[in-house]
Amino acid sequence: MNAFGFKYQQQAPESMRWRQMDHVIFDPKKIISRSRSQDTKNVVGTLLGQANNADLSVFPIVGVGGLGKTTLAQLIYNEPEIQKHFELLIWVCVSDSFDVDSLAKRIVPFHLEKDVVEAAASKKSPLDSLQDVLNGHRYLLVLDDVWNRESDKWEKLKVRLTHGANGSVVLTTTRDEGVAKIMGTVKPYNLAALEDNFIKEIIETRAFSLQKEEERPSVLVNMVDEIVKRCRGSPLATTALGSVLRTKTSEEEWKAISSRSNICTEESGILPILKLSYNDLSSQMNQCFAFCAVFPKDYEIDVDKLIQLWIAHDFIQDHKEVSPETIGNRIFSELASSSFFVDVKQGKATSYERMVGGSYYKRTCKIHDLMHDVALSTMENECGFAPEEPNRIEWLPDTARHLLLSCEKPEIVLNDSLARKSPAIQTLLCDSYMEHPLQHLSKYSTLKALQLHTRRSSFPLKSKHLHHLRYLDLSRSDFEALPEDISILYNLQTLKIFGCQELRRLPRQMKYMTALRHLYSHDCPKMSGMPGDLRKLMSLQTLTCFVAGRTSSECSNVGELQHLNLGGQLELNQLENVTEEDAKAANLGKKK
């Protein structure tokens, strides 16, 4: 600092900066749904008109990126007439991959929970299961964001899709007219640009969201029409640009943005304006959003999990007065209001999710595929994605820091790759089950976040290699017990063991894991009690299930809950072991 003459400037208190951002999330879909009402009627009429058609109808919606094809498909999908007309409604995002078997797997469980279990038990091929599920039903299948032009793959899937009842329809969205020609059986619906009056409404609603109408500076209001022309009818570009303009208050700043030559052109598309809106974020938000590149396109992201991962990676700065979870929620709300996140949903998990150990309440979101491109452009060298056949392709660069593996047998992929490479992996999220042991254990010593599900009875890593670990998700695994030395993970903030059907106990020395903030322990039916001195986990704010053990010095009684500042879901099991004295001491009425 001294050598370069830098001076330290006191920043405004965090709470003051956030107060400016605490506003209602702006949802452009409300405006877009009005602007697309005629488009919706046109397509709905065409789909309903296929009712007596014995052949499968494939209806493509075509348009450039960011024009609102997915939003239009959602409006159609949710129309009451459509919901009433079709027996099955199924939505699958295809994006870059068009693997027929994996697509069939995703189509089957999307709607019918019962069939998921039966299909798994029957050992049928994914395509056979798909044919069985659709057979005799009039269905609407939305294949969103299709890119693949390999007609043989489409024909292989289409043969199975033809087993639905008369009037079944596949509605597909694509940017590629060539894809529409290969797939379509009716004339494609070419989506037009949004009309200027709706573009103007989105910009004004977004750019002036912090001001009342009478307080809007007239000089800026007069510049809106010029800005509208630059958006080229794209609602995504408009929302992103409005988000940037919201933080600009002078005429010079607005002119600087408006005069950019490449904000949104036919040659460059809308990526420059999306990149501009990303660059305009604070450095903290930059890191938080860029990290989301680790999730594949159209991945349904658990919001609470995402925030816990942000915290685990120190993307959220410490603040004495405000918890990192609160700041994380504010960052998420701000990014969602600027359309970095879409399809934000909050509600009860389905019965199938609860059956396999999911949370009872869940907040989820997705990232628009073009916004995902922006995140990936920043993080591409730091993310690793195992392809369908990883042995044939070198997929793990030395620069990789964050890995998400959805492939089958991820342990084999990891063992093979880490035999040759030694990347400093910080995030490892495995969506599929592990059945074999991991090798090269010391190469996992840089992990800060780990998610794995294993059918083995023992923990696949060594605690002595995991000192940096802050997030650990072992849910739905087959452990009977966690290793005792896991209590040396003093930095661990989140531990998820829900859905571990065989788990009987937690480590006895968990009282030393004082950094622990979230313990998800529900749906573990064989758990006999909680480890002693639970009251010493003073940072704990989430405890989804407390199992009251028999009176013993090794178990915590329910009275220890009085010392913990808990919120959210809390189940109490084995209440027959609770004394009246302990029940009063727990003072649960004071919890959130």
Domain containing residue 529: CATH number: 3.80.10.10
Shared domain for 290 and 273, answered yes or no, is: no
Give the model's pLDDT for residue 500.
92
If you average pLDDT over residues 78-91, what whole number do you get? 92
Asked, for residue 210, whether it belongs to a domain, the answer is yes
Is the pLDDT score of 306 beyond 70? Answer: yes
Domains held by the chain: number: 4
Same domain, 405 and 347: no
For residue 12, being part of any structural domain is answered with no
pLDDT: is 272 or 67 the higher one? 67
Residue 526 has a pLDDT of 92
Q: 44 and 132, same structural domain?
A: yes
Q: What is the pLDDT of residue 360?
A: 57
Q: pLDDT value at position 77? A: 93
Residue 459 lies in a domain: yes
pLDDT > 60? residue 353: no
Local structure of 397: helix, strand or coil: coil
Please identify which residue in the block is written with the tokens 């070198």: 394
CB 485 within 8 A of CB 493: no
Whether the full predicted model's pTM is greater than 0.85, yes or no, is no
Q: Which of 144, 169, 147 is nearest to 70 (CA)?
A: 144
- Look at residue 242 and tell me whether its pLDDT is greater than 70: yes
Give the angle subtended at the CA of 303 by the CAs of 467 and 322, to the nearest 5°.
70
Highest mean pLDDT among 238-242, 267-271, 327-331, 394-398: 327-331
Q: Tell me, what's the pLDDT at 193?
A: 87
Indicate if 228 and 240 belong to the same structural domain.
yes
What mean pLDDT, rounded, does the chain reach? 84
Q: Per mean pLDDT, which range of 146-150, 286-290, 358-362, 395-399 is the poorest?
A: 358-362
Residue 24 pLDDT > 50, yes or no?
no
pLDDT of residue 489: 93
User: Are residues 411 and 501 both part of a single domain?
Assistant: yes
Whether residue 14 has pLDDT greater than 80: no
In whole angstroms, give the CA distance from residue 252 to residue 328. 32
Whether the predicted pLDDT of 354 surpasses 80:
no
For the cut 80, the answer to whether the pLDDT of residue 485 exceeds it is: yes
Q: How does pLDDT run across 147-203, given as a tens digit for each residue?
A: 888 889 899 999 999 999 999 999 999 988 888 999 988 899 999 988 988 889 888
The DSSP letter of residue 156 is H
**CA–CA gap between residue 552 and residue 530 (Å, rounded):** 11
If you compute the radius of gyration of the chain from its CA atoms, what whole number of angstroms results? Answer: 26
Last residue of a domain, one of 142, 169, 190: 190
* 381 and 495 inside one domain: yes
More confident residue, 342 or 215: 342
Would you say residue 206 lies in a domain? Answer: yes
Please provide residue 514's backbone torsions phi and psi, each rounded to the nearest 5 degrees: -75, -10
Confidence category of residue 556, pLDDT binned at 50, 70, 90? confident
Find the CATH number of the domain harbouring 248.
1.10.8
Residue range of the domain that includes 210: 195-279
CATH assignment at residue 158: 3.40.50.300
Tell me the C-alpha distance between 275 and 236, whole Å.
12
Based on the domain organization, do 425 and 490 belong to the same domain?
A: yes
**Considering the domain boundaries, does residue 5 fall inside one?**
no
Paired strand residues for 348: 361
- Residue 352 is predicted with a pLDDT of 36
- pLDDT tens-place string over residues 267-279: 556 777 788 888 8
Task: Specify the pLDDT at position 521.
Answer: 93
Does the CA dihedral 151-157-160-161 come out positive or negative? negative
The tokens for 384 are 């690793």
Q: Which residue among 279, 313, 336 closes a domain? A: 279
pLDDT of residue 324: 94
Based on the domain organization, do 418 and 538 belong to the same domain?
yes
Q: Please report the pLDDT score of residue 297 as a whole number.
A: 85
For 591, the token pair is 């919890």
Under the banding of pLDDT at 50, 70 and 90, the label for residue 83 is very high
* Final residue before a domain boundary, out of 220, 254, 279: 279
Report the share of the chain in percent with pLDDT over 70: 88
Same domain, 416 and 295: no
User: Which one is predicted more confidently, 348 or 362?
Assistant: 362
**Shared-domain flag, residues 531 and 504:** yes
> Does residue 550 share a domain with residue 448?
yes
Q: Which of 96, 240, 236 is nearest to 174 (CA)?
A: 96
pLDDT surpassing 60 at residue 127: yes
pLDDT at 358 over 50: no
Per-residue pLDDT at 287 exceeds 90: yes
Q: Is residue 18 part of a domain?
A: no
pLDDT of residue 551: 65
The mean pLDDT value for 542-558 works out to 83
Mean predicted confidence (pLDDT) in 23-49: 79
With a cut of 90, say whether residue 368 has pLDDT above it: no
Q: Would you say residue 23 has pLDDT above 70?
A: no
The reply to whether 247 and 361 lie within a common domain is no
The enclosing domain of 296 has a CATH number of 1.10.10
The pLDDT-based confidence of 20 (bands split at 50, 70, 90) is very low
Give which of 356, 346, 410 is closest to 384, Cα–Cα. 410
- Best CA proximity match to 169, nearest among 145, 137, 191, 192: 137
Lowest-confidence region among 175-189, 267-281, 333-347, 437-451: 267-281
Please report the pLDDT score of residue 93 as a whole number.
86
Would 9 be classed as within a structural domain? Answer: no
Residue 172 is assigned to a structural domain of this protein: yes
User: d(Cα 149, Cα 167) in Å, to the nearest integer?
Assistant: 25
- The answer to whether residue 507 scores a pLDDT higher than 60 is yes
Q: Are 159 and 90 in contact (CB under 8 A)?
A: no
pLDDT value of residue 267: 55
Mean pLDDT on 363-378: 88
Cα–Cα distance between 408 and 423 in angstroms, integer? 22
Residue with the larger pLDDT of the pair 257 and 375: 375
